[in-house]
Chains A and B, each alone.
Chain A
């Protein structure tokens, strides 16, 4: 299915309201280049079937994204992405990303846990940013 581009994961214990989680996940997908201008977001009905949320919540998230100028609702057709958040640096085939991918491979080979990897990443990021 064409509309099956992204699937929302709702964390019911995060304390972050559901509509903000949905909006954030659309933006994340846009940043990663998974969603770009012209792509259609899943309909409220599709999201409800997949994740059991209130369709009004989905529409609220889409309205929020529309307000930010990222998507556009077209009557009777659905909601479409109108902007691009992807930069060359965040795309899947970007060199920096591939470097990190290779680095992560080594970490797995050397038996590091995800927590250890996160700790290293956070620490290194902290010294640069």
Chain B
């Protein structure tokens, strides 16, 4: 079965969605990602959707689910690289992705996650709490 690779980048996990998602692939991704968050103690999840030509409510729900589960596991999700035509369509569709943070590209997404890590760890660099 196909699986979407999950790459570790510092304190974040990077997922690049390049293929047309279908149900099984989406479910496998949610499973893999939650395990990987726990294994790597990642503080952030970056989902790059710059290759996606459309985002329908199925994909939107998947992104919301991933963000919700990640949040419970103490990782923040940032969706990056949404195409302008996709953004326009999503709003008209009625999907505002309220539970998901977004950034224009991977670099800006990493900056967001970096700030969160700095807040958690504090100036000493050690994890608090």
**Do A and B come together as binding partners?**
no
Interface residues of B (CB under 8 A from A): none
